[in-house]
């Protein structure tokens, strides 16, 4: 699988604190090795649009879609509690 960032995700990533960037990088590596990794806690967020949500850390989430052999990262935002 490959990864592609939307413009929104690029902006989100550039604004992250260094520790959140590191955590996101680690989680992205887990995603590339398999969506079922336990620390991702990946789940369908929006069934009709095929949007998934996964965990960066306790306070941050990232959203993505799967298109063919590519994960398209849509956004990286604080967890909407």
pLDDT score for 80? 73
Q: What is the pTM of this model?
A: 0.94
- Which pLDDT does position 71 carry in this prediction? 98
Quote the pLDDT of residue 9: 98
Per-residue pLDDT of the chain (81 residues; tens, 9 = 90+): 999 999 999 999 999 999 999 999 999 999 999 999 999 999 999 999 999 999 999 999 999 999 999 999 999 999 977
> Which domains, from first to last, does the chain contain?
2-78 (3.30.2310.20)
The Cβ-side half-sphere exposure at 43, using a 13 Å CA radius, reads: 5
Burial (CB < 10 A; 0-12, 13-18, 19+), residue 15, is: exposed
pLDDT for the residue numbered 30 = 98
Cβ–Cβ under 8 Å, residues 51 and 8: no
């Amino acid at each position: 699988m490959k990864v592609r960032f939307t413009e929104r995700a690029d902006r989100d990533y550039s604004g992250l604190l260094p520790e959140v960037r590191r955590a996101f990088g680690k989680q992205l590596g887990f995603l590339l090795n398999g969506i079922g990794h336990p620390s991702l806690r990946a789940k369908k967020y929006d069934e009709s649009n095929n949007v998934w949500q996964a965990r960066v850390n306790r306070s941050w989430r990232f959203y993505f879609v799967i298109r063919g052999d590519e994960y398209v990262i849509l956004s990286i935002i604080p967890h909407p509690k």
